[in-house]
């Protein structure tokens, strides 16, 4: 095994090198503090590997995303349940395995009726992510946290989350809850629960169903991001599946993580309110002194084109053509997209439209309100979160996550009693 040398305070130690299956190299510093008394400092953990995982691989420089070794581009046409099974259980299912998985989910789609009373207790103005996180956590009260029930709880959560998401939307718009249908696909059933009413039949549009299915697949996992690492950190304490996923939902809620596609729509609204003068904002984005940036362009991880965005562009074009929507925001978005794909400033800096740009456009075209965008993200990311939690849960040697810190407060000093201050 190769190693790296670390010299500190005149002492030299060797640190093992860990190499991943795709050639990633990591320096194992697990013995650094015990050997030297020093720790590493890495704000935001951008250079820190917190685990070894078999679930997802990203090469940001080359624009590569793999789920269990399968390229994301090859999943076009697959079903979300097919990909979910593969992420969670580690292999592509046979037809019989997929059929059983689907039947198990169908059987667990309903939430306990008295849970609806919890849901109905929230005001109509409550953010859907607040409702989602609390409802997921509440499932712990209904389903036993025992080793024998772990696999059953995985199925329960996969089955019930779409129902909870759709019910929270119906609650916010003051409409009656629509119960799930087992004869529809995962994506089709969700659209049915979102947009059907008791007054008239609702026909699932196959173009929207295909687009939503692809959106869910493209968001299913993305390695150790903020919410996924939160699920793992909470899970490392021995917390159950529901509590760990609820924590992930809360992390995703943050505007720097799951709120990016919502920011895209809010930016487009700002441009619309400024006489739709998109060129003004393109020029501002090029001017560093302006402090303005276009949301939905470029990616922190992908230094090339986001592979998910290539797929979503096709879906966005299909949805807009199918619906024939006359929406100023979507027209501005299309104009910005054309600029970004042709303007040398954006091309040279790889500031291409990303997955948040296209997902925001598609969700708006579907009629999904802006405050539900992050909920949609959570729905897609669920199988990845479950897979990561399950991988951690099944490890034979686990330890609780406990980062260190560099203390920068006052040095040791004498305490002053209240009467002498």
Active site amino acids? 299, 356
Give the span between the Cα atoms of 332 and 272, in whole angstroms: 8
165 with 379: CB under 8 angstroms? yes
Rounded to the nearest 10 degrees, what angle do helices 186-195 and 80-89 cross at?
120
C-alpha pair distances (Å), 220 with each of 83, 133, 277, 320: 8, 18, 35, 24
- Rounded to 5°, the CA angle 308-311-315 comes to 125
Give the span between the Cα atoms of 324 and 144, in whole angstroms: 48
User: What is the chain's length?
Assistant: 421
Find the DSSP H helices in 219-327: 226-235, 241-253, 260-273, 278-286, 307-323
Give the span between the Cα atoms of 308 and 318, in whole angstroms: 16
Give the span between the Cα atoms of 240 and 248, in whole angstroms: 13
Beta-bridge partners for 133: none
Task: List, edge to edge, every strand of the sheet that includes 25-27.
Answer: 3-8, 11-19, 25-27
């Amino acid at each position: 095994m190769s190693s790296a040398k670390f010299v500190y305070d005149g002492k030299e130690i060797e640190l093992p090198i860990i190499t991943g299956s795709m050639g990633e190299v990591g320096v194992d510093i697990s013995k650094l503090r015990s050997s030297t008394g020093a720790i590493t400092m890495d704000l935001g953990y951008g250079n820190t590997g917190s685990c070894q995982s078999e679930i997802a691989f990203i090469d940001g420089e080359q624009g590569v995303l793999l789920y269990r070794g399968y390229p994301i581009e090859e999943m076009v046409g697959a079903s979300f349940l097919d990909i979910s099974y593969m992420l969670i259980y580690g292999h592509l299912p046979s037809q019989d395995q997929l059929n059983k998985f689907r039947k198990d989910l169908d059987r667990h789609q309903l939430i306990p009726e008295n849970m609806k009373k919890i849901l109905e207790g929230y005001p109509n103005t409550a953010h859907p992510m607040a409702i989602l996180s609390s409802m997921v956590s509440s499932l712990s009260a209904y389903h036993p946290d025992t080793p024998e029930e772990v696999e059953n709880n995985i199925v329960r959560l996969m089955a019930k989350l779409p129902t909870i998401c759709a019910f929270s939307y119906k609650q916010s718009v003051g409409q009656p809850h629509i119960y799930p249908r087992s004869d529809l696909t995962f994506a089709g059933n969700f659209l049915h629960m979102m947009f059907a009413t008791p007054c008239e039949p609702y026909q699932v549009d196959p173009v929207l169903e295909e687009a939503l299915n692809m959106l869910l697949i493209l968001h299913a996992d993305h390695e150790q991001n903020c919410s996924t690492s939160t699920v793992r950190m909470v899970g490392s304490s021995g917390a159950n599946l529901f509590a760990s996923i609820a924590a992930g939902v809360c992390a995703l809620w943050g505007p720097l993580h799951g709120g990016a596609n919502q920011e895209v729509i809010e930016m487009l609204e700002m441009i619309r309110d400024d006489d739709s003068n998109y060129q003004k904002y393109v020029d501002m984005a090029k001017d560093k002194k302006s402090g303005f940036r276009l949301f939905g362009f470029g990616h922190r991880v992908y230094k090339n084109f986001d592979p998910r965005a290539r797929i979503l562009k096709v879906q966005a074009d299909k949805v807009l053509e199918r619906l024939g929507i006359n929406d100023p925001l979507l027209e501005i978005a299309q104009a910005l997209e054309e600029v970004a794909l042709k303007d040398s400033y954006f091309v040279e800096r790889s500031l291409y439209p990303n997955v948040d740009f296209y997902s925001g456009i598609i969700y708006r075209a579907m009629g999904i309100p802006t405050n539900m965008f992050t909920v949609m993200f959570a729905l897609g990311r669920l199988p990845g979160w479950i897979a990561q939690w399950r991988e951690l849960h099944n490890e034979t040697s686990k330890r609780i996550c406990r980062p260190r810190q560099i203390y920068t407060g006052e040095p040791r000093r004498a305490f002053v009693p209240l009467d002498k201050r």
